[in-house]
Amino acid sequence: MAPYCTVDQVRAIVDSDMSDDEILGLIAEVDAEMDLTLPTGGLTVIILQMISRRKTALDVFLKDPNSTGAGEYREDRGKTLEMLRQRIEKLEIAIDGGITFVVGYEGLDEILETE
């Protein structure tokens, strides 16, 4: 099965010294977790990519202490970490016998345009 996101999509969110292979390994872990915890068959490709790249970016951010948000300075690291956590939290899926809605996403179109 193809990964839900690419290394380039993750690097668009976070700058890191991790190798592409290391990031690919994290993508595989995140995607495997998603397959176990989300009804991935009922989600669109865009939503799957969004969840995968954000969760993988967060993992890269946590595993590489030298990482920063793309285009940001080291001093902004705490803000970037909080922003990633908030965006992932907003993507929690409400399940009630199937996909019902994506929680907290009034600005989904705006977010898709900026990423």
pLDDT of residue 113: 45
pLDDT of residue 20: 97
pLDDT, tens digit, 9 for 90 and up, residues 36-71: 887 767 778 888 888 899 889 989 988 888 887 776
**pLDDT, mean over the chain:** 76
What is the pTM assigned to this prediction? Answer: 0.71
Comparing C-alpha atoms, which of 94, 87, 62, 96 is closest to residue 77?
62
pLDDT, tens digit, 9 for 90 and up, residues 10-32: 999 889 999 999 999 999 999 99
pLDDT, tens digit, 9 for 90 and up, residues 72-83: 666 666 677 777
pLDDT of residue 24: 97
More confident: 1 or 46: 46
pLDDT score of 106 more than 50: no
